[in-house]
């Protein structure tokens, strides 16, 4: 979560510190895993020598100096992980929370104040992408933000406008990331998918970068089941859209999350939750549909307590024809199997 941020990698000017980031890439390479780099230009977790709060220019750098600082940072960090970081969040959370501007100007967006945006100008984004591309031409480069998941929402539209502008300017951008810090009850898969698909029309990726789904009502009896459903629904959207090649969870177990209310796939004892089983089931189904094998059945032999049927798009259906049978087991876990009746 934090090892590749500015304050971790460059704690003093031109003094780079790669212990944490090396541990991550080392573990990944020993285990055959790919790594996303997060993040190069952000307004938070900026080293204090750049800005005390990520916005103020309390060291009175000139615009030229700030450009040099950002360029040197990007060349060092991206250069070091050339070949071992597959994709970078080049710029993170550059948009302001207030995007009411899109109501009067449908092509507009408002940047948030930051040490980079306020004291360099919007071109810091263009430059950051160009430098990252020069430092590692093979790496995929993304912009990343929150509250930009559902088509129609003002910030989602502003994000789309900004990405369009970057692409039109010839910036080497591969796509945009939707953080997906959600709470149960918020998910609208139609609007999520509509959003992802319009980037496909522009030949851009639209990926899920920081998924977690907190429980809106942690004490409700069906809280974990609802969470499992929503995790499964996001997974299906991910699996059926070719321009959505990555889906990452923002953490592993509930007790190590940055959020309250049990947002992740494993509980505090590192036991898989219903959400885990449903994500797994969706992936297994997709692999089966694609004629692949290799995703193992992960269940023990608990008894089935309830069964429902869904079609291949996740819509409720009856026990008729080709259906997905979704069984909930006595331990709360969920397993889906494809059947023909």
Q: Which residues are catalytic?
A: 93, 210
H or E element in which residue 28 lies: helix 19-30
Q: Is the peptide bond before 238 cis (omega within 30 degrees of 0)?
A: no
b/e map 63-98, b = 16+ CB within 10 Å: eeebbebbbebbebbbebbeebbbbbbbbbbbbbee
Q: What secondary structure does DSSP assign to 180-191, as a single string? A: -EEETT---HHH
CB of 259 to ligand XIL, least distance (A): 8
Residue 261: how many CB atoms within 10 A of its CB?
17
| Choice from 9, 179, 327, 328 touching ligand XIL (CB under 6 A) | 179
**Type and span of the H or E element at 248:** strand 247-249
β-bridge mates for residue 102, sequence order = none
Q: Is residue 1 a contact point for ligand XIL (CB under 6 A)?
A: yes
Shortest separation between residue 117's beta carbon and ligand XIL, angstroms: 16
Residue 36, SS3?
Answer: strand
In the DSSP assignment, the letter for residue 215 is -
Q: How far is the CB of 33 from ligand XIL (least distance, A)?
A: 19
Q: Nearest 10 degrees: CA dihedral of 195, 200, 203, 207?
A: 60
Considering the rule CB under 6 A, would residue 235 count as an interface residue with ligand XIL?
no
Indicate whether 313 belongs to the interface with ligand XIL (CB under 6 A).
no
Question: Does residue 92 bind ligand XIL (CB under 6 A)?
Answer: yes
- Does residue 260 interact with ligand XIL by CB under 6 A? no
- Asked if 258 touches ligand XIL (CB under 6 A), the answer is yes
Window 153-172: contact mask with ligand XIL (x via CB under 6 A)? --------------------
Q: Which is nearer to ligand XIL, 24 or 323 (CB)?
A: 24
Q: Smallest gap, in angstroms, from Cβ of residue 199 to ligand XIL?
A: 19
Q: In terms of C-beta density within 10 A (0-12 exposed, 13-18 middle, 19 or more buried), how is residue 12 classed?
A: exposed
Q: How far apart are CA 36 and CA 198, in angstroms?
A: 23
State yes or no: residue 2 binds ligand XIL (CB under 6 A). yes
Quick one: 144 or 282, whose CB is closer to ligand XIL? 144
Residues 185-214: x/- map of binding to ligand XIL (CB under 6 A)?
-------------------------x----
Q: Which is nearer to ligand XIL, 258 or 313 (CB)?
A: 258
Q: Is residue 123 classed exposed, middle or buried when 0-12, 13-18 and 19+ CB atoms within 10 A define those classes?
A: middle
CB of 257 to ligand XIL, least distance (A): 8
Number of residues that bind ligand XIL (CB under 6 A): 6
> To the nearest whole angstrom, how small is the minimum distance from the Cβ of residue 2 to ligand XIL?
5
Binding-site ranges for ligand XIL (CB under 6 A) = 1-2, 92, 179, 210, 258
């Amino acid at each position: 979560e934090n090892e590749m941020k500015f304050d971790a990698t460059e704690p003093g000017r031109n003094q780079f510190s790669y212990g944490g980031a090396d541990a991550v890439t080392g573990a990944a390479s020993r285990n055959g895993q790919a790594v996303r780099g997060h993040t190069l230009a952000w307004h938070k977790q900026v080293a204090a020598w750049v800005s005390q709060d990520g916005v103020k220019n309390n060291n009175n750098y000139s615009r030229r100096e700030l450009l040099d600082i950002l360029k040197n940072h990007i060349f060092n960090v991206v250069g070091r992980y050339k070949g071992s970081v597959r994709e970078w969040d080049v710029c993170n959370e550059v948009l302001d929370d207030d995007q009411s501007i899109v109501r009067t100007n449908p092509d507009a967006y408002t940047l948030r104040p930051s040490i980079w945006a306020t004291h360099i100008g919007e071109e810091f984004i263009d430059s950051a992408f160009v430098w990252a591309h020069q430092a590692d031409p093979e790496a995929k480069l993304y912009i990343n933000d929150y509250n930009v998941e559902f088509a129609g929402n003002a910030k989602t539209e502003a994000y789309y406008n900004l990405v369009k502008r970057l692409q039109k300017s010839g910036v080497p951008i591969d796509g945009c990331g939707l953080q997906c810090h959600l709470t149960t009850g918020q998910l609208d898969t139609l609007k999520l998918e509509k959003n992802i698909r319009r980037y496909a029309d522009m030949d851009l990726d639209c990926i899920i970068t920081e998924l977690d789904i907190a429980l809106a009502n942690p004490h409700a009896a069906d809280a974990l089941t609802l969470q499992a459903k929503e995790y499964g629904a996001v997974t299906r959207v991910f699996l059926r859209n070719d321009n959505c090649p990555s889906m990452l969870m923002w953490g592993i177990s509930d007790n190590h999350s940055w959020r309250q209310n049990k947002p992740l796939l494993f509980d505090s004892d590192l036991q898989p939750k219903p959400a885990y089983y449903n994500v797994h089931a969706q992936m297994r189904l997709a692999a089966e549909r694609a004629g692949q094998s290799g995703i193992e059945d992960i269940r023990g032999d608990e008894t089935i307590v309830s069964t429902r049927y869904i079609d291949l798009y996740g819509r409720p259906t009856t026990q008729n024809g080709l259906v997905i049978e979704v069984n909930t087991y006595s331990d709360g876990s969920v397993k889906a199997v494809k059947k023909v009746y």
